[in-house]
């Protein structure tokens, strides 16, 4: 393989070029680097934070009350670096990250996230998260006869007034980094904010990424707010485009799957996080059969909690099997293709293939360490047995960023020391968070029971 200017120039025998640096790949399997198409870098220091909490209750402890609320710019750098090192050392070369940074230090905080990816050597599309409705505004409280005042956490002008300069500072400014818009989720954004975000993305020529129907409680919200389906709303406002992608997409109905299939948009499947929060099983076989491009993501470290894409690959291949008919089970190779081709689509980058013209984002795995049987079954071994333990050398944009299984551009020991200090501080707030969580738990439990009884969703018996 001949690499020139960060891209694969030629593949084949006898490619010697004068003065070229030679990387000896004998004894290695060379594959395209894995693509993690959905995570939250501000959560990287919250592994193991919660257990046995459903999505809405998890939000109270981990998301709104969690690290995202209190990380300063320097902390965001450390948290992002922790995630980047974990991903690179397990063979993931690019990421679609949705960090939440406090609005008070938004510019500096987002720039520190970008700096961490620049320093680590990873490729990153960074969708800055923001929203204008508070937590209770994202819940279908009418279902249980509760009313809370409509509290805005910011105006459309304020929020987009900070995003605009972020896009300007980073769009086209770094070969591996791209800024994106990340309105946090449909339920957390007013209709005005979401429409304005889509218009801004179109205007600036940048991509937009958000959470779509990640919990069943969001189906009744859509009925209240959009007069019906969330996906129909997205179609109406021109948000189902090649430059948009949607994480989770669990609670789709048949009509919504058909609308997604008619569009150019990409869905990002997060099987481990969905299972951990009991959020549901995304109808991936039906989406794929309808022709919807599907990418894979880990989701953030407080709901997965690993950032290892090998684990996500295995979960994505297996999670459908108890319910879907056998002919619709995704195979190991199809699952890898979701990760590579779907990921490339979500990130809008020429990655995920070993072909001339594609970026040289590669993982070299030691063959002796792989649980190798016949070579023809290597996809099976990668998905079901590998777990990233054989990753030896990783290149991003043609540059070696991992050697001997270790990230080489960063002072990992220093990052670990800083991360430990940060973890001690953030976890010190856990008692307070749990108190807040206990206060709203009775309300959330009543809501959960009402939502569980709703007859909505996809008919899984048809796969
Ligand atoms: Zn997420």
Mean pLDDT value across the chain = 93
DSSP string, 399-439: EEEEETTEESSS-HHHHHHHHHHHHHHHHTTHHHHHHHHHH
- Between the CA of 15 and the centroid of ligand 1 the distance, in Å, is 43
- Between the CA of 181 and the centroid of ligand 1 the distance, in Å, is 14
- Between the CA of 297 and the centroid of ligand 1 the distance, in Å, is 9
- Between the CA of 287 and the centroid of ligand 1 the distance, in Å, is 19
Q: Please check the confidence at residue 393 and state whether its pLDDT lies above 90.
A: yes
Q: Residue 367's pLDDT is what? A: 86
Q: Residue 64's pLDDT is what? A: 64
Q: Please check the confidence at residue 171 and state whether its pLDDT lies above 80.
A: yes
- Between the CA of 42 and the centroid of ligand 1 the distance, in Å, is 11
Q: Residue 67's pLDDT is what? A: 54
Q: Give the mean pLDDT of 313-319.
A: 98
Q: Residue 463's pLDDT is what? A: 45
Using CA atoms, how far apart are residues 299 and 302, in angstroms rounded to an integer? 8
pLDDT classification of 456: cutoffs 50, 70, 90? confident
Q: Please check the confidence at residue 462 and state whether its pLDDT lies above 50.
A: no
Phi and psi torsions of 183, nearest 5° = -55, 125
Question: Mind listing the pLDDT tens digit for each residue in 221-247?
Answer: 999 999 999 999 999 999 999 999 999
- Between the CA of 366 and the centroid of ligand 1 the distance, in Å, is 32
Decide if 240 contacts 230 (C-beta within 8 A): no
Question: Mind listing the pLDDT tens digit for each residue in 190-203?
Answer: 999 999 999 999 99
Q: Give the mean pLDDT of 402-409.
A: 98
Lowest mean pLDDT of 66-70, 165-169, 398-402, name the range: 66-70
Q: Please check the confidence at residue 271 and state whether its pLDDT lies above 70.
A: yes
- Between the CA of 194 and the centroid of ligand 1 the distance, in Å, is 17
**445: number of Cβ within 10 Å:** 13
- Between the CA of 243 and the centroid of ligand 1 the distance, in Å, is 18
Q: Please check the confidence at residue 457 and state whether its pLDDT lies above 70.
A: no
Helix or strand run (H / E) with residue 260: helix 254-262
Q: Give the mean pLDDT of 108-124.
A: 98
| Strands 406-407 vs 399-403: parallel, antiparallel or unpaired | antiparallel
Domain-wise residue ranges, the chain: 35-354+422-462
The architecture that CATH gives domain 35-354+422-462 is Alpha-Beta Barrel (3.20)
Using CA atoms, how far apart are residues 129 and 76, in angstroms rounded to an integer? 13
pTM of the model: 0.96
Q: Give the mean pLDDT of 39-62.
A: 87
- Between the CA of 46 and the centroid of ligand 1 the distance, in Å, is 14
pLDDT classification of 15: cutoffs 50, 70, 90? confident
């Amino acid at each position: 393989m001949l690499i020139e200017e960060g891209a694969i120039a030629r593949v084949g025998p006898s490619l010697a070029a004068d003065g070229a640096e030679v990387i000896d790949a004998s004894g290695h399997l060379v594959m395209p680097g894995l693509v993690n198409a959905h995570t939250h870098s501000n959560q990287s220091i919250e592994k193991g934070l919660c257990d046995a909490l459903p999505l809405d209750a998890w939000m109270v402890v981990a998301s709104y009350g969690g690290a995202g609320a209190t990380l300063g710019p320097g902390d965001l750098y450390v948290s992002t670096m922790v995630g980047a090192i974990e991903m690179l050392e397990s063979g993931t070369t690019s990421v679609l990250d949705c960090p939440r940074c406090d609005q008070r230090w938004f510019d500096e905080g987002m720039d520190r996230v970008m700096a961490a990816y620049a320093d680590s050597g990873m490729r990153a599309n960074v969708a800055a998260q923001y929203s204008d409705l508070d937590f209770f505004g994202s819940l279908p409280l009418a279902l249980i006869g509760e009313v809370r005042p409509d509290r805005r956490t910011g105006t459309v002008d304020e929020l987009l007034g900070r995003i605009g300069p972020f896009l300007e500072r980073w769009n086209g400014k770094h070969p591996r980094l791209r800024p994106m818009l990340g309105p946090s989720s449909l339920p957390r954004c007013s209709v005005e904010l979401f429409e304005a975000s889509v218009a801004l993305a179109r205007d600036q020529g940048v991509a937009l990424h958000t959470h779509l129907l990640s919990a069943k409680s969001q189906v009744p919200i859509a009925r209240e707010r959009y007069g019906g389906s969330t996906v129909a709303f997205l179609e109406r406002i021109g948000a189902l485009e090649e430059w948009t992608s949607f994480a989770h997409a669990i609670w789709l109905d048949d009509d919504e799957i058909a609308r997604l299939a008619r569009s150019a948009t990409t869905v990002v499947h997060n099987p481990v996080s969905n299972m951990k929060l009991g959020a549901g099983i995304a109808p991936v076989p039906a989406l794929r059969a309808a022709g919807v491009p599907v990418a894979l993501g880990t989701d953030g470290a407080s709901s997965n909690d690993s950032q290892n894409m090998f684990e996500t690959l295995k979960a994505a291949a297996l999670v459908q099997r108890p319910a879907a008919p056998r002919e619709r089970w995704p195979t190991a190779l199809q699952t890898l293709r979701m990760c590579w081709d779907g990921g490339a689509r979500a990130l809008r980058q020429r990655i995920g293939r070993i072909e001339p013209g594609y970026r040289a984002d590669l993982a070299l795995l030691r063959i002796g360490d792989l649980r190798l049987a016949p070579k023809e079954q290597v996809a099976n071994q990668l998905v079901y047995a590998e777990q990233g333990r054989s990753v030896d050398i990783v290149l991003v944009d043609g540059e070696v960023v991992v050697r001997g299984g270790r990230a080489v551009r960063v002072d990992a020991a220093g990052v670990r020391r800083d991360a430990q200090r940060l973890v001690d501080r953030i976890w010190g707030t856990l008692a307070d968070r749990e108190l807040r969580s206990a206060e709203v738990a009775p309300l959330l439990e009543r809501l959960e029971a009402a939502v569980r009884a709703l007859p909505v969703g996809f008919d899984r018996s048809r796969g």
